Structure 1
Amino acid sequence: MARGPDATTLLERALAAPLAAFGGTIVESDCVRWASATFVGARHRLVLAGDDGVAARDWLAALPEADWALRGHLVADVRLVDRNAADSRFTATIEILTVEVD
């Protein structure tokens, strides 16, 4: 029985539309699965790039507090790890921790 898209795919879909507003895209995406005694999930690292500006900077700054609706997954933590801007373009690295839920 298919369970639907994985957390990485759902995260990439959730980020695609806001990034498009800044002429942006996901340039790199990596995921490492993890498990504890009570939880199963994944650690995601995504590199984003787009047109730099106030709106893009505000959106990136707000990501750690954003509400995420990912079917079958809970976003437990979001961190903006790095952000650089040059020639009116930005590159940002974010890390996201997801937990699978029933």
Structure 2
Amino acid sequence: MIARRFERALLRDAVRAGVSLVVEHGRAVAWHSATFSGARHELVVSAATGSTLDAWLTQLPTRDVTIPGQIVADLRVATHARYGERVMLRIEGVTVACDLSAPECGAASVRARSDRRMPPPTPACNDAAPRDRTR
């Protein structure tokens, strides 16, 4: 499901820019650090060559691709190969969970509830927590 959300968000952004992508393959691998959780994404797509595609690809690392509850980071074209009027691209990106609306301050994302795991609190949670003033 995580890979599908990334795929749909990227396709929406491409359509807004006037680019028509065909998804050939996609996958996501979950990752976790001490303070964050998310996924590394790889999407193989094909598209017709042209100036619109070139402009979109040039702007890709700085585009604001939105996925509710996620921050899309490190979006880039890893490889590309031209075949006549078509180009094959491997687009990679990283998503980071950013649901801070839960009382546990990020610990109750939809994915965390569904698989019964609780990610650690985010740095924003630590900043928002009341300070112990008895010491």
Report TM bin, short chain. 0.7 to 0.9
Out of 41-50 and 22-31, give the one that drifted further: 22-31
- Distance in 2 (CA, whole Å) between partners of 1:19 and 1:67 is 14
Which is richer in strand? 1
Deviations 1:24-60 (A, max 9, x none): 2111101110000000000001111011111111111
Q: Tell me if structure 1 keeps the 8 A contact 2:10–2:65.
A: no
User: Identity of paired residues, percent?
Assistant: 34
AA matched with 2:39? A
Out of 78-87 and 31-40, give the one that drifted further: 78-87
Deviations 1:44-84 (A, max 9, x none): 01111011111111111211110122101011211211111
- Choose 1 or 2 for highest CA Rg: 2
Q: TM-score, normalised by structure 2?
A: 0.65
Paired residue for 2:33? 36
> How far has the Cα of 1:87 moved from its partner?
1.2
Q: Tell me if structure 2 keeps the 8 A contact 1:19–1:50.
A: no
SS at match of 1:12: helix
Structure 2 spans left out of the alignment, 5+ residues: 100-135
AA matched with 2:86? R
SS at match of 1:69: coil
Match of 1:13 among 8, 12, 31: 8
Structure 1 spans left out of the alignment, 5+ residues: 1-5
Distance 1:15 1:76, change over 3 A: closer
Q: Tell me if structure 2 keeps the 8 A contact 1:19–1:25.
A: no
Paired residue for 1:76? 73
Out of 11-20 and 39-48, give the one that drifted further: 11-20
Q: Tell me if structure 1 keeps the 8 A contact 2:29–2:41.
A: yes
Deviations 1:2-38 (A, max 9, x none): xxxx442222112224259444211110111000000
Match of 1:66 among 53, 63, 68: 63
Aligned residues: 97
